[in-house]
């Protein structure tokens, strides 16, 4: 038989084929759950399946899929505790760094640097807005402090979202003890600058239309304390957790193989999950339970027997993608950028369809054989805006038109830069060989489930009793913190399910 006719198989994975838990997907909550479970003496296999990688390659450059803004760790105390358990809190906290200035606002007639220093920020706002500047300063300072009033609630580890009557009853009692959860947003003013700052919210959470106060306040408040960046973005943060998992004895099937490790289907024994089968592999990796950290639509496609798992599918169908973050990258010489342009810029486009444009600068990197290297004196300017999810079905011409509109705003923001541009790239059009789910680095959802505190989505426990969700659809109104909290709770639920003793507790 010729080589071309032989069945192409993936390189062999780990020799172990039976685990306590399999974590499926590349979202950061799954990586945290996997690392915590390995630390607590469970046998863990992480299958990335939909890993986005450290960016995509285009004409020799490695480019981001979208802007990524994170709060400092001190603004997420419960998450900080989990990372401390893994021995990662200090390293991740040091790697996160604020932008310079922290945030820049560009309005039709104003450009404002929102420095982390209160006196400088007040002077800047007064210079641009006169007497109104003091009120804007007060609203921003009040908003940046709002998350602290709700920290105690999240540090207590509430069952959020609750599953069943008793969890719901207990949660409602806890909520009554924390009136700050229902506090009025401090950025409620009508000044254009405050309206623009509110426009940062969709880039931080995963809800199409946040309704309750907490969904408007917590994630935005956390970021406004110090809008931070993690070198390499969300994926690099997930990589730190994945490396810790392997150090703790867990196994990973990830993107170190060029073909990737993609799951073909989930296997069930009756109504219970039993294992995963990979594309181009005869091996069935078995486990007592499954933690999923991939979008519900991607998970749904892995359930091949639709008839016998209708409850699970109906559970996943309660989530709907409404919008996606659509980005454009420009690679330009640093010297061509306007003097004073910030590393993180929020632009009022005056375009009712695009809305605010978030622009983030990154060091340019090349795909060198020895690893990704920064290119001295060259920057990547990544600009993103939200468009309807239906844009994916309207064809390349429509997507090119969207990209051109973003180009026009970048040209106004950075006049005379376009002529010196080394590369213009659109992830949705130029990330060759990338599957659809990877092109949604930050979708916005709506849900058919009850939203507790306005921040919850899909319940973590599913009708397939040993399938637990740990993705961004669990606590979409809390953004990055929500993903990490979902991973922490998923780890606890697995421990309860397996009833395996934690060696750290005697």
Stated length of the chain: 506
* Start-end of H helices in 10-131: 28-39, 77-85, 89-95, 118-129
- Kind of pairing, strands 344-347 and 103-106? parallel
Question: What does the alpha-carbon distance between residue 299 and residue 295 come to, in Å, rounded to a whole number?
Answer: 6
Q: What angle do CA 426, 432, 434 make, to 5 degrees?
A: 95
Q: Output the pLDDT for position 143.
A: 95
Question: What does the alpha-carbon distance between residue 366 and residue 353 come to, in Å, rounded to a whole number?
Answer: 34
Least confident of 102-116, 246-260, 342-356: 246-260
pLDDT in tens, 216-246: 999 999 999 999 999 888 888 999 999 999 9
Per the CB < 8 A criterion, the answer to whether 328 and 60 are in contact is no
What mean pLDDT is reported for the chain?
90
pLDDT band at 260 (very low <50, low <70, confident <90, very high): low
Which of 238, 290, 253, 215 lies closest to 83, judged by CA?
Answer: 238
Q: Output the pLDDT for position 222.
A: 97
Question: What does the alpha-carbon distance between residue 480 and residue 301 come to, in Å, rounded to a whole number?
Answer: 25
Q: What angle do CA 250, 10, 234 make, to 5 degrees?
A: 50
Task: Write out the two tokens for 447.
Answer: 């849900």
Which of 399, 367, 364 lies closest to 385, judged by CA?
Answer: 399
Q: What angle do CA 146, 325, 461 make, to 5 degrees?
A: 70
Question: What does the alpha-carbon distance between residue 480 and residue 254 come to, in Å, rounded to a whole number?
Answer: 22
Q: Output the pLDDT for position 258.
A: 45
Cis peptide before 161 (omega within 30 of 0): yes
Question: What does the alpha-carbon distance between residue 500 and residue 118 come to, in Å, rounded to a whole number?
Answer: 50
Cis peptide before 137 (omega within 30 of 0): no
Question: What does the alpha-carbon distance between residue 160 and residue 33 come to, in Å, rounded to a whole number?
Answer: 16
Q: Output the pLDDT for position 234.
A: 87
Q: Output the pLDDT for position 437.
A: 52
Q: Output the pLDDT for position 43.
A: 97
Cis peptide before 101 (omega within 30 of 0): yes
Asked if pLDDT for residue 3 goes beyond 50, the answer is no
Asked if pLDDT for residue 5 goes beyond 80, the answer is no
pLDDT in tens, 116-161: 888 999 999 999 999 999 999 999 999 999 999 999 999 999 999 9
Domains of the chain, first to last: 18-51+254-318+448-505 (3.50.50.60), 63-75+98-148+172-225+321-439 (no CATH)
Asked if pLDDT for residue 436 goes beyond 60, the answer is no
Distance (Å) of CA 222 to CA 77, 80, 236, 378, 480: 11, 13, 20, 31, 10
Dihedral (CA of 61, 365, 342, 337) sign: negative
Asked if pLDDT for residue 505 goes beyond 60, the answer is no
Q: What is the mean pLDDT of residues 478-488?
A: 97
Q: Output the pLDDT for position 1.
A: 38
Q: What is the mean pLDDT of residues 85-90?
A: 97
pLDDT band at 257 (very low <50, low <70, confident <90, very high): low
- CA-based diameter of the chain, in Å? 82
Asked if pLDDT for residue 313 goes beyond 70, the answer is yes
Q: Output the pLDDT for position 296.
A: 94
Q: CB-based contacts of 368: which residues, under 8 Å, 6+ apart?
A: none
Least confident of 165-174, 325-334, 370-379, 397-406: 370-379
Asked if pLDDT for residue 434 goes beyond 80, the answer is no
pLDDT in tens, 439-454: 688 999 999 988 899 9
- Identify the three-state secondary structure at position 4: coil
How far apart are the two ends of the chain, measured CA to CA in Å?
A: 58
Q: CB-based contacts of 454: which residues, under 8 Å, 6+ apart?
A: 210, 211, 212, 213, 214, 215, 477
* Distance from chain centroid for Cα 383: 16
Task: Write out the two tokens for 27.
Answer: 């979202």
Report which secondary-structure segment, H or E, holds 239: helix 233-247
DSSP 183: P
DSSP 356: -
Per the CB < 8 A criterion, the answer to whether 111 and 104 are in contact is yes
Q: Output the pLDDT for position 506.
A: 39
pTM: 0.93
Q: CB-based contacts of 117: which residues, under 8 Å, 6+ apart?
A: none
């Amino acid at each position: 038989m010729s080589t071309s006719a032989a069945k192409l198989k993936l390189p062999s994975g780990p020799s172990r084929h039976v685990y306590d838990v399999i974590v499926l997907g590349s979202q950061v909550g799954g990586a945290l759950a996997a690392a915590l479970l390995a630390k607590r003496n469970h046998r863990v296999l992480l299958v990335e399946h939909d890993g986005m990688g450290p960016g995509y390659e285009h004409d020799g450059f490695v480019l981001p899929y979208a802007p990524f803004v994170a709060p400092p760790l001190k603004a997420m105390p419960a998450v900080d505790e989990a990372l401390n358990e893994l021995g990662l809190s200090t390293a991740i906290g040091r790697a996160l760094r604020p932008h310079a200035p922290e945030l820049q606002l560009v309005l039709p007639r104003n450009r404002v640097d929102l420095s982390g220093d209160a006196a400088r920020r007040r002077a800047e706002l007064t210079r641009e807005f006169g007497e109104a500047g003091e009120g804007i300063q007060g609203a921003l300072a009040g908003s940046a402090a709002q998350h602290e009033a709700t920290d105690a609630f999240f540090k207590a580890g509430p069952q959020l979202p609750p599953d069943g009557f008793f969890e719901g009853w207990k949660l409602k009692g806890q909520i009554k003890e924390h009136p700050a959860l229902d506090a009025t947003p401090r950025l409620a003013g009508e000044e254009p600058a405050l309206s623009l700052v509110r426009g940062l919210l969709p880039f931080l959470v995963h809800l199409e239309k946040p309704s309750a106060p907490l969904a408007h306040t917590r994630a935005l408040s956390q970021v406004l304390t110090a809008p931070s960046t993690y070198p390499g973005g969300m994926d690099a943060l997930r990589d730190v957790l994945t490396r810790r998992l392997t150090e703790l004895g867990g196994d990973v099937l990830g993107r170190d193989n060029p073909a990737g490790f993609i799951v073909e289907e989930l296997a069930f024994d009756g109504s219970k999950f039993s294992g995963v089968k990979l594309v181009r592999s005869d091996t069935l990796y078995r486990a007592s339970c499954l933690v999923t950290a991939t979008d519900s639509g991607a998970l749904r496609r892995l359930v091949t027997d639709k008839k016998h798992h209708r409850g699970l599918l109906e559970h996943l169908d309660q989530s709907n993608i409404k919008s996606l973050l659509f980005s454009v990258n420009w690679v330009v010489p640093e010297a061509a950028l306007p003097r004073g342009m910030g590393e993180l810029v929020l632009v009022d486009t005056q375009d009712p369809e695009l809305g605010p444009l978030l622009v983030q600068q990154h060091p340019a990197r090349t795909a060198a054989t020895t690893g990704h290297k920064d290119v001295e004196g060259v920057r990547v300017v990544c600009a993103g805006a939200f468009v309807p999810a239906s844009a994916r079905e309207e064809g390349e011409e429509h997507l090119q038109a969207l990209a051109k509109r973003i180009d026009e705003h970048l040209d106004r923001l950075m006049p005379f830069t376009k002529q010196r541009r080394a590369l213009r790239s659109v992830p949705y059009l130029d990330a060759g060989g990338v599957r659809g789910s990877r092109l949604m680095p930050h979708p916005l959802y709506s849900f058919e489930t009850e939203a507790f505190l306005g921040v919850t989505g899909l319940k973590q426990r599913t009708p397939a009793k040993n399938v637990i969700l740990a993705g961004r659809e669990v606590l979409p109104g809390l953004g990055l913190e929500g993903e990490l909290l979902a991973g922490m709770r998923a780890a606890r639920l697995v421990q309860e399910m397996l009833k395996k003793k934690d060696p750290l507790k005697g």
